[in-house]
Amino acid sequence: MCGIVGAVAQRDVSPVLLEGLKRLEYRGYDSAGLAVMSHDKELQRLRVQGKVNELFKEHQKSPLNGTTGIAHTRWATHGKPNVKNAHPHICHDKVALVHNGIIENHEELRKEQMASGFEFNSETDTEVVVNAIYEALESRLDLLHAVFNTTKKLQGAYALGVINNTDPGRLIAVKKGSPLVIGVGIGEYFIASDVFALLPVTQKFIFLEDGDIADITRDKLTIYDSELSIVERSIKLTELNADMADKAGYRHYMLKEIFSQPNAIEKSLEHRIKDGKIITSEFGQNADSIFSRVKSVKIAACGTSYHAGLIAAYWMEEIAHISCHVEIASEYRYRKSVVIDDTLFVSISQSGETADTLAALHLAKESNFLSTLAICNVAESSLTRDSELVFLTHAGPEIGVASTKAFTTQLVALFLMVIAIAKHNGLSKEYEKMMIKQVKSLSGRVSQLLHHKDEIEIMAKDFADKHHALFLGRGSFLPVAMEGALKLKEISYIHAEAYAAGELKHGPLALVDDDMPIVAVAPNNNLLEKLKSNLQEVKARGGKLYLFADKESDVESTEGVYIINLNVDYDFMAPILHTIPLQLLAYYVAVIKGADIDQPRNLAKSVTVE
């Protein structure tokens, strides 16, 4: 979280920095700031509490001009979201710094620095870094060595951008555990937390590796590794373009992303299927031989990606007859676990930068796993770089903080993975063909479901004044219910919980009254009759039910029971299909409540800290 941008150019860099921050705002938006070196070598700084738009306004009133600068949008970890904690941090008007990540030993460093006379202006973990660099500069080190020496004292994860007024055209960038890219322009260089920030100024990028330090001037870039030896890092051309970031006429990115799911699903399937069969090499060169040895699967992920993993586990056991366990990455990374021989480790992540998921992967690499596979939406991410096998979801950039198209395309990828593994465990050609047919029908069926938007918008009115909601599902629809509840709470701030419907009477039924809406996912499968009995238990207690049913679920709207018939046939795609109306429900409830849908409070899109 937190977004960093920096630039060294011949032109005035402020517009580039501000536009970059706007594009990085999904990473954090509680305060923002920029520091630009003036033409007479003075560090000028603007900081605001709130969103980047506030910074734009301030900048209009008092513009900063200069050709070297750094900027930051913050997601507060240490210290409140206010101006004094906003970045850039400056020490003695000499050195300015932006930081993404967490300095774990900041308290110890703060004590040492206070003892040697430093006064602190913020509550952040960052200020110790700028102080340490200042101290090193005072001992006559140049900026590169001052930053390098400072990093040796730091524990934790960080990406840094540093400028100072003795070297006004120089920018030092460091990456350790937090993402950082260098944008290569013509006679100018940029840094940013992701490529997206820099697409208006370049398509050429260098992806720094952990421990790298880049010494950047307008006409020269030198990259050093963690031992300060010069290293070569290749320049890559991105296929992304700046226009991908517009809302295409939709009111919010989230709505655009919900409606782009048919297309995103098609893109995820493109070139992955030939003659009714999966092209296993799409997972990596050795995928076929690795998949042939898989005896069990371990999945680790966070949030929505974790829910995708939970659904995949049902598929894996039912279709491939291979045992599959799913773990919350932040739990898995700290627990002692047993790895069964020939277990494939699968991580799932939209961003590929989620700190907990990355840590789980790194732990897996030191353990006895057969191999590591990343299912990810960002090609050049830490997760894809560090995994042996990779399957990209090709959903396109997801900007709304609440994940939608990333989730459905993760499920497509996971379904293909299950089939590719199942082929080595007795899945017949006919069965494979049948399942490929199902996944190929998905995009069209999702398009049909989106037509229910008006009905769902009406239904959403019933939720807007509620404080709590329960979501029920059974089997692979329990994770669908969990995802529905997560969407509702994160963007509408209504407390929502998901339960396996059979668990209701073991406790949560006590909560049910006419003020507690209950959403049930009711596909037409072998558990439908059982689910109906669970729903009777709710109805008998005066609970108001909202049901998303399949074509032949045979349920009708009655007093206190609101049914939306999705008119879909039941098959393996049903968990994906049933997710769509829940996304729309959360969206429309949040619209009615007037919530900040694309940037919900306290959240950020890319969770690069623990």
Candidates 402, 472, 504, 576; binder of ligand F6R (CB under 6 A) is 402
The residue (of 85 and 349) whose beta carbon lies closer to ligand F6R is 349
**Which DSSP letter does residue 602 get?**
T
- Alpha carbon 425 to its chain centroid, in Å, reads 33
**Which DSSP letter does residue 559 get?**
T
In the range 286-315, which residues lie near ligand F6R by CB under 6 A? 302-305
In the range 462-491, which residues lie near ligand F6R by CB under 6 A? 486, 490
The residue (of 287 and 486) whose beta carbon lies closer to ligand F6R is 486
Q: Which of 51, 267, 423, 605 is catalytic?
A: 605
Would you give the binding string for ligand F6R spanning residues 347-386, x where CB under 6 A is met? --xxx--x--x-----------------------------
With tokens 């807007």, the residue in question is: 464
Asked about 61 being catalytic, the answer comes back as no
- CB environment 389-412: b (16+ within 10 A), e (fewer): bbbbbbbbbbbbbbbbbbbbbbbb
Asked if residues 574 and 445 have their Cβ atoms less than 8 Å apart, the reply is no
Q: Measured from the CB of residue 165, what is the shortest distance to ligand F6R in angstroms?
A: 38
Asked about 91 being catalytic, the answer comes back as no
409 part of the interface to ligand F6R, by CB under 6 A: no
List C-alpha distances in Å: 96 to 72, 151, 167, 476: 12, 15, 12, 51
Sheet containing strand 68-74, edge to edge, reads 43-49, 31-37, 68-74, 3-8, 189-192, 181-184, 204-207, 235-237
The residue (of 350 and 409) whose beta carbon lies closer to ligand F6R is 350
Cα gap 177→102, rounded to integer Å:
10
Q: Measured from the CB of residue 33, what is the shortest distance to ligand F6R in angstroms?
A: 25
The residue (of 565 and 606) whose beta carbon lies closer to ligand F6R is 606
Asked if residues 439 and 334 have their Cβ atoms less than 8 Å apart, the reply is no
The residue (of 302 and 469) whose beta carbon lies closer to ligand F6R is 302
Candidates 403, 492, 565, 608; binder of ligand F6R (CB under 6 A) is 403
Q: Which of 2, 91, 302, 324 is catalytic?
A: 2
Cα gap 180→22, rounded to integer Å:
17
397 part of the interface to ligand F6R, by CB under 6 A: no
Q: Measured from the CB of residue 478, what is the shortest distance to ligand F6R in angstroms?
A: 17
Cα gap 96→210, rounded to integer Å:
22
State the number of binding residues for ligand F6R (CB under 6 A): 14
Cα gap 451→485, rounded to integer Å:
22
Q: Measured from the CB of residue 375, what is the shortest distance to ligand F6R in angstroms?
A: 10
Greatest Cα pair distance in the chain: 80
Binding part of the chain for ligand F6R, among 191-199, 246-254, 346-354, 363-371 by CB under 6 A, reads 346-354
Catalytic residues: 2, 605
List of residues contacting ligand F6R (CB under 6 A): 302-305, 349-351, 354, 357, 402-403, 486, 490, 607
